[in-house]
């Protein structure tokens, strides 16, 4: 039997990269999917591709930093599928620069999407999620410190604190809340990093390469399945050993 048969999952940031890889893996494991992204054309293409392969998926344009859009997204998921069992808080952005040059706009935007967005999606899904449900948030190797990412690092450390708190608040309802901390992932976001910086980053990975998005998707699948029923409040680093060497 497929691991997510009969389950409904919401995946934010599902238009590309880790979110797309997670959507495709979850569909293969039997999940019904609500795929969300601000890039509506991209996420619609992912949903169409999954439906063409026999899966069930809807695409919704959603800015996770907007309470009204998040509430509407949750309601549309209920209307489409009747239940919510899994939430993957994957949407995230970067606005990198050293602190003296970082303005409030760059700080606020990253905080709004990465931390507030995780809070809002969790808040409104937790009001509807089934007993035994799973929430998987997204932290980062940057929580260990990374020059030029004070906004991003702080937002992702906040996600870890949020994860632990929600795990405690909802344990009695048998809701598991965990997070995954990716390292250098082979996504369009990494491709935007200057070549020399990107090469230096990959050299710091003990396993010797950037992590394919599907490897994060596999961690999402594990933490969203019954295999993880007694794991909650944890942060799983999927980074090729990078955090060990820091």
Catalytic center residues: 152
How many angstroms separate the CA atoms of 35 and 11, rounded? 5
Q: Which residues lie across from 182 on neighbouring strands?
A: 238
What is the Cα gyration radius of the chain? 17
Q: Are 176 and 129 in contact (CB under 8 A)?
A: no
Q: Are 26 and 1 in contact (CB under 8 A)?
A: no
Pairing of strands 32-37, 235-238: unpaired
How many angstroms separate the CA atoms of 10 and 174, rounded? 18
Q: Which token pair is 143?
A: 């929580």
């Amino acid at each position: 039997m497929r691991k997510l048969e009969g389950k409904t999952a919401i995946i934010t940031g599902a238009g590309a990269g880790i979110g797309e890889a997670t959507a495709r893996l979850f569909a293969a494991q039997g999940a019904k999917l609500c795929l969300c992204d601000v890039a509506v054309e991209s996420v619609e293409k992912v949903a169409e591709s999954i439906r063409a392969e026999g899966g069930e998926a809807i695409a919704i344009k959603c800015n996770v930093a907007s309470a009204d859009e998040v509430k509407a997204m949750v309601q549309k998921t209920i209307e489409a599928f009747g239940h919510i069992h899994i939430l993957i808080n994957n949407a995230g952005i970067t606005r990198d620069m050293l602190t003296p040059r970082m303005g409030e706009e760059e700080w606020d935007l990253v905080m709004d999407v990465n931390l507030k967005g995780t809070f809002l999606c969790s808040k409104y899904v937790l009001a509807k999620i089934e007993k035994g449900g799973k929430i998987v948030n997204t932290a980062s190797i940057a929580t260990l410190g990374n020059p030029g990412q004070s906004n991003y690092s702080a937002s992702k450390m906040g996600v870890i604190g949020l994860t632990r708190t929600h795990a405690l608040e909802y344990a009695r309802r048998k809701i598991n809340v965990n997070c995954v901390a990716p390292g250098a992932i082979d996504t369009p976001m990494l491709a935007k990093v200057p070549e020399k910086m990107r090469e230096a980053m990959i050299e710091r990975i003990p396993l010797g390469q950037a992590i394919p998005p599907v490897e994060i998707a596999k961690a999402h699948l594990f933490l969203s399945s019954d295999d993880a029923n007694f794991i909650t409040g944890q942060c799983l680093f999927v980074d090729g050993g990078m955090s060990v060497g820091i």
